Amino acid sequence: MNNFLILANSDKDVNLSLSNKISEYLRNAGAKVVIVSDVGESRDECTIKEELMEGVQAAIVLGGDGTMLRAAHSIGTYNIPFIGINLGTLGFLTEIEESNVYEALDRLLKDDYIIEERMMIEGSVKDKVFDALNDVVITRAGFSRIIGLKIYVNNQLLDTYGADGVILATPTGSTGYNMSAGGPIVSPKASAIVVTPISPHSLTSKSIVFDSTEEIRVEIMKKRKTQETEAIVSFDGENNIELSAGDCVNVKLSARSISLIKMYDVNFYSVLREKIGG
């Protein structure tokens, strides 16, 4: 590779100090480099001009997992691989630490890496369609103490319950909000959709792992007579849409996927022990 786009979160990379060092290192090696910031606060803040993407072979993302998510949505349509440099906390998506940046850059220049594909899910609601690398999350709105949910799988009713919400996560997203809500961790190499209730008011409502070919529909039920908006749905934490009783969110496997550049053949479960092990 010799043509790179650097996407920097300036909240993490103050004054773009590391971004500029990386750019200088790559340019001294004969590579072409473009730096774009900021992808720190929301997807909409990272607008990549088409002319900047000409010939780009990989995106180097500086920040945390949230920055990687926003970068994936900002330039995912260009179908180039991503490598993340972790300037955040856990960093499940950002493999490279600041201490081994230049080793990773040398390997990029020599094409010494592997590509790992990560599935995405597609959520549709109110004639709008969004992709998610991590999750589609439906949560209660306003003063609703709980929301009523009907879960359908391939148009067959699975369950009806009250809860604070529900998470529909990819394997990549299984280590995020899904895990915090008590859902299972799924290998990123799997092709699955995890459905996890958020604080369900039931002894029997548990997480379920579905094959990625399944299509899931969540219907909002009426719980508050005096409140029009019952819930809010978000896609990777963005694009919040209000939901009323009778509204449905449909989730299925997306036609898109994300390519991550991996430098080290490290076992996923070793990463788990390192990041969240006791």
Of 233, 235, 237, 219, nearest to 121 by C-alpha is 235
Residue 179 sits at φ, ψ, to 5 deg, of -65, -40
Alpha helices in the chain (DSSP H): 17-28, 65-75, 101-109, 177-180, 268-276
SS3 223: coil
Q: Which of 65, 131, 135, 164 is catalytic?
A: 65
- Is 159 annotated in the active site? no
SS3 95: coil
Please say whether the beta carbons of 261 and 108 come within 8 A.
yes
What are 154's two structure tokens? 């391939």
CB atoms within 10 A of CB 203: 6
Within 170-236, strands assigned E span 192-198, 208-211, 216-221, 229-235
SS3 170: coil
Maximum pairwise Cα distance, the chain: 66
How would you class 94 by CB atoms within 10 Å of its CB: exposed for 0-12, middle for 13-18, buried for 19 or more? Answer: buried
Quote the Cα angle for 237-240-245, to 5°: 125
Please list the active-site residues: 65
